[in-house]
Structure formats: structure tokens, C-alpha cells
Amino acid sequence: MTKQLIRLFTVFGAAAMLLSACASQQGASAPTANSTHRAAKGKWTLNNVNFEGMPSTSRISTVFSNIPPACLEGSQWNLPENGYGSYAITSTGEGCNAATQSIMWSTRNEGGVIMFKFKELLQGVKAKNTADGYSVELSSVDNTTMVWRAPVNVDGKTAYIVYTFNRN
């Protein structure tokens, strides 16, 4: 009887260890909004703005606050832990105005997709009183690179503006 109990406990113990190992692997592979927020914090340079799934005849003239996409290339993004950050446009190209904009940023899980959200903070206006903002899919973030994808409707089809950052 004692040998049977020992075998029974051994089988249950092995099964419990196997199940807990599988469960922890699943949890580790799926990024959360909190883990992504921690990974995204820091100083970044927006190196490239590309377009996916867009016909060559289509053009996106402005993004965010009426900024030409080319003007965002080279911009510096400061994303501190507390969510109060900024971006600085440094390009002097045609139609570009060098400026620094304060933002409030966060990450959210929306239906299993991690979204990077930010709203521009105007001088003297609190974040809670700013209703408008921007939301892009945070496709990936690691120690060196961050990629955002923003869906846009082009000729009735979904295309994407892809923003690629390098960590400073």
C-alpha cells in the first residue's frame, strides 16, 4: 500500500511540474502592456518612416499633427517611465519646422494587440483635459529597436505607416 501511495504521489508531482512548466512558458512568450511599457521607455531616434501595402501612386502627406512623414525622420523621442515625455523634430527639410512637443504616452493591450498611445500636451493644458491622441500598434521593441505600425485606409484597403526607431 505504501509503494502505491508513493507511486501515486510521484505521478501527480511529475504531472504538476509539467503543467506548471508549460504554463510559465506560455505566459513568458506573450508580451503584456506593462512589460512592453518598460521595454519602450528610454530615448529613441525615429530613423525611418516606410509604407506597407500602399500603391506607388498613393501619398500620405502628413501624420500626427500635420507633420510630413519625412520631417519625422531623425526626430528624438524621450519616453520616461512616468509617461510624460516629448519628441523633438530636428529636420530642416522642406516643410519641416524644428520643434519640441511634450506628450503623455502609455501602452495598452487591445484585443491581444499592444498599442502605443500618446497625446500631445499643449502649454498649460493638463493631460486629462486633452481628449485627442494617437494610437499605433507597437509591433516590436527590444534593447535596440522599436517598430510602430499605423493602419491607414488607402483606396478601401488597409495599408500601414511603419515607424522604425533605434535606441540612443
Q: What is the pLDDT of residue 57?
A: 83
Q: What is the pLDDT of residue 152?
A: 92
Burial of 107 (0-12, 13-18, 19+ CB in 10 A): buried
Q: What stretches in the chain show pLDDT beneath 70?
A: 1-29
Which residue's C-alpha cell is 495598452? 108
Q: How far is CA 165 from the centre of its chain?
A: 11
Helix (H) or strand (E) holding 3: helix 2-29
Q: What Rg value do the Cα atoms of the chain yield, rounded? A: 22
Cα gap 162→48, rounded to integer Å: 8
Identify whether the C-beta of residue 65 lies closer than 8 Å to the C-beta of residue 101: yes
Hey, what's the cell of 111? 484585443
Q: What is the pLDDT of residue 129?
A: 86
Q: What is the pLDDT of residue 29?
A: 58
Q: How many residues does the chain have?
A: 168
Q: What is the pLDDT of residue 65?
A: 85
Output the average pLDDT for the chain: 84
Hey, what's the cell of 151? 493602419
Hey, what's the cell of 133? 491622441
N-term to C-term CA, the chain: 66
Dihedral-angle region of residue 155 (phi above 0 means left; psi in -120 to 50 means alpha; beta otherwise): left
Q: How far is CA 31 from the centre of its chain?
A: 11
